[in-house]
A and B are shown apart, each in its own frame.
Chain A
Amino acid sequence: MDNYTDIIKACLKGNRVAQNRLYQLFADKMYGMCLRYADNEDEAKDILQDGFIKVFLNLKQFNNKGSFEGWIRRIIANTALERFRDKNYLFAVNMETEYDANHKQYDHILSDLAAKDLLKLIQELSPQYRMVFNLYAVEGYSHKEICEKLNIKEGTSKSNLSRAREILKEKVKKYYNISVNWV
């Protein structure tokens, strides 16, 4: 069970030091999450910034019952979705670009390489595929929840997910030639 009671109380009083401390505690993890939803690092920074402002302005609404990290995570995800909706992506356009294999960072340890490369693959998906894939595969939302969040039909959510998976599968085959049994 998270115990952030003291720092939340201090933040609610407007204590800037406590707010900074809270930000530092979660910023890196949430930035990692923002990168999954964003086209690029600049957009991820914007989502992180807007998301944390919402966290501080709505902190009073956190009722201490669930996980505090989960609560922040939901706000960040919603901020990313709002941004996605504001951009008004009406159609799932296949926007994937050629991946430059030279960018692979071979000098990192394997797990780190894998995470960064998977992240890059997700970022290359078209925005709607990326949203659906993130929400379903990584965050664990159901199609019903996704269609409510994105204001799309459940069938669209399913077909977007299916298409996203196909694209990811093709990209992994093409660029990495990594022998994993789901490819």
Chain B
Amino acid sequence: MMGANFDQMDGVFRKQLRNYSQSAPDDIWGNIEQVLDNNKKAKRIIIYKIAAAVAAFAIIGSGYLYLSNNGESFDNNTVITENNLQQESENEIKILNQEKVNERIADNLENKKIEELDVENQKLIAEADFVEIKSYNSNNLMPVGSDTEQREKNLEKLSQKQIYIKSEGVELAIIDVRKQRVKSYLNSLPDIYNSYALNDLIEDKEPKNNKWILGGEFSPLYSYRYIAETGGDYNQDYYNSAENPIMSYTGGLNVQYKAIGRLTVQTGVYYTTMGQSFDYMSVYANTAYDLVAEEYKDRFINSYSITNSSGDVSFNSPYVIIDEELMRVSNLLDSKGVADVSDPIYNNLDAEIQQSFQYVEVPFLMRYKLIDKNVDFNIVGGFGANFLIGNDVYLKYAGNKEVIGETKGVNTINYNSILGFGIEYPIMDRINIRLEPSIKYYLNEINSSSSVESHPYSIGIYAGVNYSF
């Protein structure tokens, strides 16, 4: 009996209070909006920090590559300088235009309404990123009454890029038409519901279900190798102490297809350079070589064989190469005798010997979107085929880069595994920028004929742009 009474009592409370409604205090929405804004800003700051870090990394990497190649790229430098000058003057023109735009707007728009703007002013506004409209009749923004359509058209026509609308110092809205949306409406709009109707009009109706993505990317690479087995007289420590990683680079185009849900498949074509350098090598130039007659120069040519974990390098050179600590250099022609490098005729070049392998890489990747929001986070994995198209050993000294030979017996086709973690951020309707730290590891040894089992690997931060269609 008591239970039934309580059920009845619960029923009274439920009936009266379950859907009880009371007018929420006005200030709550403002607080919520502030938190949402801060949340957006915090996300943006993280992205900017990552972008800044990668940009710094890319600049340092590019600078390194540029400096290490400047001996042979004189012509390119000239072109780059000219391009820079051209770019600078274009920027200057843009700035001047912007100033002109601001002047014109200040002169012409004072106390005028948007609908009164002539075609020329509309064009000027379209060129400007931010335009402050001094006076603005909010009825033009608010679609009310029978001529709503015309008012919206007026506004849309003006919104070629991004317009920051102020009315007598009161912020009304920021419209970013490049993204096809009202970036934000501010609280001072008199009727939030009417403005929502306008927002529907400007906003892209539905995100297009673009299945294909075309992308381009570039990354500086930290390139080295892992020695799985040595197989000879020397152990891994020996090779690790005698060789060094190098900074190289990769870049190319890719195409992606959105297969199922968050899964995308990707392939492409990349140009990739990898390699390593020899440590403890002293290289001397014989100053007499340049002075003797042509018919005697041959007498100064030495034949060398240098061994490292990637294989043997054989070459003929007028330079004298001495291994400071290890026994990697063989002089193949006994008749040339042993050079006494303490003789002043020999000039120590402070040079570096570097192996470089150039590949055309065709990766096959699966990309899974872990977080599918405004900023996407992807995990990327797959395999790649690397076709050897270049195999050089360089002597680098004093800004010069001279090919002195090649590594014998390296494989012409190599397969690597790829693992990466990517961040994508939309900058325009169909265009995303991407940052992707990635590691690539050769599944096969680089040189099947060598006793050393050496697997090259590279670590890079890929920066690129994607276009969806």
Contact status B16-A165, CB under 8 Å: no
Please give me the residue from chain B that is nearest to A41 by CB atom.
B25
Q: Please provide the 3 A-B residue pairs with the shortest distance between their CB atoms, ordered closest to farther.
A: A137-B10, A32-B20, A31-B24
What is B's interface to A at a CB cutoff of 8 Å?
Answer: 5-6, 8-10, 12-14, 16-25, 28-29, 31-33, 35-36, 39-40, 181-182, 184-185, 192-193, 195-196, 199, 203, 373-374
Which residues does chain B contribute within 8 Å of A20, judged by CB atoms?
29, 33, 192
A contact residues around B12 at 8 Å (CB): 118, 180, 182
Of the candidates A21, A140, A181, which one forms a contact with B193 in the assembled complex, judged by CB atoms under 8 Å apart?
A21
Majority-rule SS of A interface residues = helix
Closest chain A CB from B328 CB (angstroms): 59
* Of A56, A115, A122, the contact of B36 (CB 8 Å cutoff): A56
Task: Report yes or no: A122 in contact with B192, Cβ–Cβ below 8 A.
Answer: no
- Contact, CB under 8 Å: B203 / A15: yes
Q: When chains A and B are docked, how far (Å) is the Cα of A111 from the Cα of B12? A: 11
For A42, the closest partner residue in chain B by CB is B25
CA distance A18 to B33 in the complex (A): 12
Contacts of A140 in B (CB 8 A): 14
B180 to chain A, nearest CB (A): 10
Across-interface contacts of A53 in B (CB, < 8 A): 32, 35-36
Q: Is A65 an interface residue (CB 8 A)?
A: no
In the docked arrangement, what's the CA distance between A33 and B22, Å? 9
Of all chain A residues, which has the CB nearest B197?
A17
A147 in contact (CB, < 8 A): no
A168 at the interface (CB under 8 A from B): yes
Chain B residue at minimal CB-CB distance from A133: B13
A152 CB contacts on chain B under 8 angstroms: none
Contact B9 A49 (CB under 8 A): no
In the assembled complex, the Cα of A165 lies from the Cα of B13 at a distance in Å of 11
Question: What sequence of 0s and 1s flags, for each residue 149-168 of chain A, a beta carbon within 8 Å of any chain B beta carbon?
Answer: 00000000000000001001
Contact indicator A33/B20 (Cβ below 8 Å): yes
A to B CB contacts below 8 Å, 19 in the list = A10-B199, A13-B203, A14-B40, A17-B199, A20-B33, A20-B192, A23-B29, A27-B28, A29-B20, A30-B24, A35-B20, A48-B28, A53-B36, A57-B36, A118-B12, A118-B13, A138-B10, A181-B8, A182-B6
Q: Are the CB atoms of A136 and B10 closer together than 8 Å? A: yes
Residue A85 lies at the interface, judged by CB distance under 8 Å to chain B: no
Chain B contacts of A126 at CB under 8 A? Answer: none
Q: Is the CB of B13 within 8 A of A137?
A: yes
- Please, how many angstroms separate the alpha-carbon atoms of A48 and B203 in the complex? 29
Beyond A15-B203, A53-B32, list 14 extra A-B contacts (CB 8 Å): A14-B40, A15-B181, A15-B199, A17-B182, A17-B192, A31-B22, A45-B28, A56-B32, A57-B39, A119-B17, A122-B13, A138-B10, A138-B18, A140-B14
A19 to chain B, nearest CB (A): 7
Interface size class of chain A, counting residues whose CB lies under 8 Å from the partner chain: 35 or more
List residues of A (1-38) whose CB comes within 8 Å of B's CBs. 10, 13-21, 23-24, 27-33, 35-36
Contact A169–B9 (Cβ < 8 Å) = yes
Which has the most chain A C-beta neighbours within 10 Å: B8, B9, B40, B195?
B9
Q: Name A21's closest neighbour in chain B (CB-CB).
A: B196
Report B49 CB to chain A, min CB distance, Å: 20
Q: For A137, what are the chain B residues with a Cβ–Cβ distance below 8 Å?
A: 9-10, 13-14
Q: Is A60 an interface residue (CB 8 A)?
A: yes
A114 contacts chain B at the CB level, 8 A cutoff: yes
Check A32–B196 contact: CB distance below 8 A. no
- B203 contacts A10, C-beta separation under 8 Å: yes
Interface residue from A29, A165, A180 paired with B19 (Cβ < 8 Å): A29
Task: Please tell me if the beta carbons of A114 and B16 are within 8 angstroms of each other in the complex.
Answer: yes
Q: How far is the CA of A62 from the CA of B21 in the complex (A)?
A: 23
The CA of A57 and the CA of B14, in the complex, are separated in Å by 30
Give chain B residues whose Cβ lies under 8 Å from the Cβ of A60.
373
Q: Is the CB of A36 within 8 A of B32?
A: no
A52 in contact (CB, < 8 A): yes
Instruction: List, in ascending order, chain A residues with CB within 8 A of B23's CB.
Output: 28, 31
Please measure, in the bound complex, the distance between the C-alpha atom of A168 and the C-alpha atom of B9, giving whole angstroms: 9
CB pair A118–B16 under 8 Å, yes or no, is yes
Closest B residue by C-beta to A19 = B36
A16, B33: Cβ atoms closer than 8 Å: yes
Which one of B6, B22, B374 contacts A165 once the chains associate, using CB atoms below 8 Å?
B6
Q: Which residues of A contact B14 (CB under 8 A)?
A: 137-138, 140
- Shortest CB-to-CB span from B142 to chain A, Å, is 12
Contacts of B8 in A (CB 8 A): 181-182
**Chain B residue contacts of A49, Cβ below 8 A:** 28, 31-32
Tell me whether A27 and B24 are in contact (CB under 8 A). Answer: yes
A13–B181 CB distance below 8 A: yes
A136 to B9, CA, bound (A): 12
- B195 lies within 8 A of A17 (CB): yes
8 Å CB interface, A43-85 against B: 45, 48-49, 52-53, 56-57, 60
Task: Please name all residues of chain A whose beta carbon is closer than 8 Å to the beta carbon of B36 when the two chains form the complex.
Answer: 16, 19, 53, 56-57
* B76 CB to nearest A CB, Å: 44
Q: A15-B182, A16-B33, A182-B8 are in contact. Are A115 and B17 (CB under 8 A)?
A: yes
Q: Which residues of A contact B192 (CB under 8 A)?
A: 17, 20-21, 24
Q: Across the interface, name the chain A residue whose C-beta is closest to B23.
A: A28
Task: Name the residue of chain B whose CB is nearest to the CB of A165.
Answer: B6
A138 neighbours in B (Cβ, 8 Å): 10, 13-14, 17-18
Do B29 and A115 have beta carbons less than 8 Å apart?
no
Inter-chain contact A182/B5, CB cutoff 8 Å: yes
A168 to B158, CA, bound (A): 63
Distance from B356 Cβ to chain A, minimum over Cβ atoms (Å): 47
B372 vs chain A, min Cβ distance (A)? 8
Minimum Cβ distance to chain A for residue B38 (Å):
10
Residues of the B chain whose Cβ atoms lie less than 8 Å from the Cβ of A28: 21-24
Identify which of A119, A165, A180 contacts B20 (C-beta below 8 A). A119
Q: Tell me whether B21 and A32 are in contact (CB under 8 A).
A: yes
Residues of A within 8 A of B18 (CB): 138-139
> Are A14's CB and B29's CB within 8 A?
no
Complexed CA–CA distance, A177 and B459 (Å): 80
